[in-house]
């Protein structure tokens, strides 16, 4: 399939929160959502140093992950 190089993300929200937000919208607590998001980011091999940064600052390959 095709994966766009251009991620449309909220500029000042961390990658961890971008992943956690849909989980919270589905009823997970803030803590549970962030823990599950961390697990997902680990599975994607996204370096921890990027978790607190906005995805807009990532390279194209990092954004695709």
Residues 11-64 pLDDT 10s? 688 889 989 999 999 999 999 999 999 999 999 998 999 898 888 777 777 666
What is the Cα–Cα distance from 16 to 44, expressed in whole angstroms? 12
Q: Residue 5: is its pLDDT beyond 80?
A: no
Q: Show Cβ contacts of residue 52 under 8 Å, excluding neighbours closer than 6 positions.
A: 14, 15, 16
SS3 10: coil
How would you class 41 by CB atoms within 10 Å of its CB: exposed for 0-12, middle for 13-18, buried for 19 or more?
buried
């Amino acid at each position: 399939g095709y994966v766009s190089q251009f991620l449309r993300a909220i500029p000042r929200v961390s990658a961890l929160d971008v992943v956690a937000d849909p989980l919270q919208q589905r009823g997970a607590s803030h803590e549970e959502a962030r823990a599950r998001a961390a697990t997902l980011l680990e599975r994607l091999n996204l370096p921890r140093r990027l978790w607190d940064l906005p995805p807009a600052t990532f390279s194209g390959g990092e954004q695709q992950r």
